[in-house]
Amino acid sequence: MNNKNPYIVCFGEILWDIFPDGEKAGGAPFNAAYHIKKMGIEVKMLSRIGNDELGKKLTDRMKGWGITTSYIQEDLEHPTSTVLAKIDEHHEASYEIINHVAWDYIEFLPEHEKLVSEAEAFIFGSLSARNEKTRETLLKLLKSAKLKVFDVNFRPPFINVDLIRQLLHHADIVKMNKSEMRQIMEFLGKEYKSEEETAAFIQKHFDIREIILTKGSKGARYFTGDTHYDFAAVPIEIADTVGSGDAFLSGFISKRILGGSPEEMMNNAVSLGAWITSKYGACPGYDLQEFEAFKNKQTDIPAKQ
């Protein structure tokens, strides 16, 4: 890290998840921003809200978290995003995502180029680019970013195969789950054989340096160059799985930009993902010392292959 004040930019959706028991601030990049900040790394959230009460509540929430609202645009025509969320008997969440909301219309501004070019990492997903305006802004920003981190995070029905391919070609690091890995191979018209072969194919086809594969209770894998690392899941009692993948990515990238080893990066990732899965909601209250104490209880040493 060369910056005196290193920071990460998270780009995309910022919203309220409407659960049966109430509303919670959410959106994959917003959740990631929360946990990156908790890990002690400065973060800038680049998104758009409506000129409404829900938008004001989101900016108030950000201020409470110590995250700047300087890059949150206000939309006078489109509302702050809401998502209808349900949790099933397996603790898994499903979402009904409303279209044509404020973050579908994120504008590219001249100051964004400097913001993104000086960031240690730029985190983005595919959902925020579902509509033309934000997609154009994202593609412009990707030209400036020095470390592009693509959290695939497919959300049906907003899956555009051509867009996914385009974003994969831009990415330096890609995080996906097993289902998304299979879907990407399907998009490419290729047969899925094994995790190793598929990861190697995707790396070569899209010129991607690193792939992080999350597998829930079966752990996670990190593919970098010709090497891969296997990590077991941390045993916990599941509260819900909302935001666990976002926490995982935050644990990984925050340790990576601090120069951590692959083992340290992935240990931080699997531990933070588990920590959040053991709690309710994507952004529960906690401090770094609490998390470090939890992580230090995990004594498994990952296998390098």
Element (H, E) at 25: strand 22-26
Residues 194-212: tens digit of each pLDDT = 999 999 999 999 999 999 9
CB 167 within 8 A of CB 206: no
Q: Rounded mean pLDDT of 97-118?
A: 95
Percent of the chain with pLDDT over 90: 75
Angle formed by the axes of helices 288-296 and 262-277, nearest 10°: 110
CB 249 within 8 A of CB 266: no
Domains of the chain: 7-281 (3.40.1190.20)
Residues 153-210: tens digit of each pLDDT = 887 777 888 999 999 999 999 999 999 999 999 999 999 989 999 999 999 999 999 9
Asked, as a colleague might, if the bond just before 157 is cis with ω within 30 of 0, I would say yes
- Supply the DSSP string of 46-105, one letter for each residue: EEEEESSHHHHHHHHHHHHHT-B-TTEEEESSSPPEEEEEEE-TTS-EEEEEPSS-GGGG
What is the sign, positive or negative, of the torsion defined by CA atoms of 269, 64, 242, 74? negative
